């Protein structure tokens, strides 16, 4: 059974940093790209970032480019989202999702984790 | 970025009804479109990919159609579990973008 479990969310002050983790199981982890999607309270879904199966290619939304970094440790079946210079508008539930291919190509999200809440507030 | 616009934003229907949700893209996305269902407090769930392909395990009362800039999600014989929010998403080009969502409510 495919499972994705996010962790690391919490309350952080504006300008602070947080590192989210997405631990995966039930599939050949390094064979699939992973995506981060966020959802602000009461709002819709926003794509944030992709990382390829090998970890050598990453993509970012303009809203987080230069502040967020996605990486992965295939030996631990885990993806990370390092979030720096956090702003109030980054407050959201962050989901990781599995893609259907290793490359970050035209591809949808077939399994999602349950999400972790990040709150940026003083 | 490609803008995705769903209509209606809210839809009221009864168990057993057939409903249709429309998703329009600001430019062609070919058939690189997915539909997701999200229940309150839960993660999104994939329903349809490549505009009309039904994800394994999803009931056949869900169907998708369209190409280019106009797409529809149709749900036949609505069941109580179907009352949720539905999102379309284009994956033709970065940044992948979602529609604003359609909330399907019980009438």
pLDDT band at B18 (very low <50, low <70, confident <90, very high): very high
- Residue pLDDT, tens place only, A50-69: 999 999 999 999 999 999 99
Cβ contact (<8 Å) for A44 and B87? yes
Cβ contacts from A onto B, under 8 A? 51
Per-residue confidence (pLDDT) for residue B95, from 0 to 100: 84
Instruction: Say what the alpha-carbon torsion angle A66, B36, B57, B70 is, to the nearest 10 degrees.
Output: -110
The number of CA neighbours under 13 Å toward the Cβ of B94 is 12
Whether the Cβ atoms of residue A78 and residue A20 lie closer than 8 Å to each other:
no
Q: Is B106 helix (H, G, I), strand (E, B) or coil?
A: strand
Using a CB-CB distance cutoff of 8 angstroms, which residues of chain B are in contact with residue A46? 98
Cβ contact (<8 Å) for A112 and B44? yes
Q: Which residues pair with A79 in a beta bridge?
A: A22, A72
Asked if residue A104 has pLDDT above 90, the reply is: no
Residues 41-80 of B with CB under 8 A from A: 42-46, 49-50, 55
Residues 29-48 of A with CB under 8 A from B: 35, 37, 44-47
pLDDT band at B55 (very low <50, low <70, confident <90, very high): very high
Cβ contact (<8 Å) for A47 and B98? yes
Cβ contact (<8 Å) for B43 and A113? yes
Mean pLDDT of chain B: 97
> Residue B76 belongs to what H/E stretch?
none
Per-residue confidence (pLDDT) for residue A105, from 0 to 100: 83
A115 in B contact zone (CB under 8 Å): yes
């Amino acid at each position: 059974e495919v499972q994705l479990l996010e962790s690391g969310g919490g309350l952080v002050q504006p300008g602070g940093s947080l590192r989210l983790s997405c631990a995966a199981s039930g599939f050949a982890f390094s064979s699939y790209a992973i995506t981060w999607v966020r959802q602000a309270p009461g709002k819709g879904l926003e794509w944030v970032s992709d990382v390829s199966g090998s970890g050598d290619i990453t993509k970012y939304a303009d809203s987080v480019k230069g502040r967020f970094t996605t990486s992965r440790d295939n030996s631990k079946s885990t993806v990370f989202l390092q979030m720096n210079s956090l702003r109030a508008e980054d407050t959201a539930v962050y989901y990781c999702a599995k893609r259907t291919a290793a490359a970050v190509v035209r591809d949808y999200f077939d399994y999602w984790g349950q999400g972790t809440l990040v709150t940026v507030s003083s | 970025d490609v803008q995705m616009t769903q209509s209606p934003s809210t839809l009221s229907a009864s168990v057993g009804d057939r409903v249709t949700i429309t998703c329009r893209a600001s430019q062609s996305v070919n058939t690189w479109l997915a539909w997701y269902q999200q229940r309150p407090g839960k993660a999104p769930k994939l329903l349809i990919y490549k505009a009309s392909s039904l994800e394994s395990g999803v009931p056949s009362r869900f169907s998708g159609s369209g190409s280019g800039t106009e797409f529809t999600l149709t749900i036949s014989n609505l069941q109580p579990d179907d009352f949720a929010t539905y999102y379309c998403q284009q994956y033709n080009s970065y940044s992948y973008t979602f529609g604003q969502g359609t909330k399907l409510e019980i009438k």
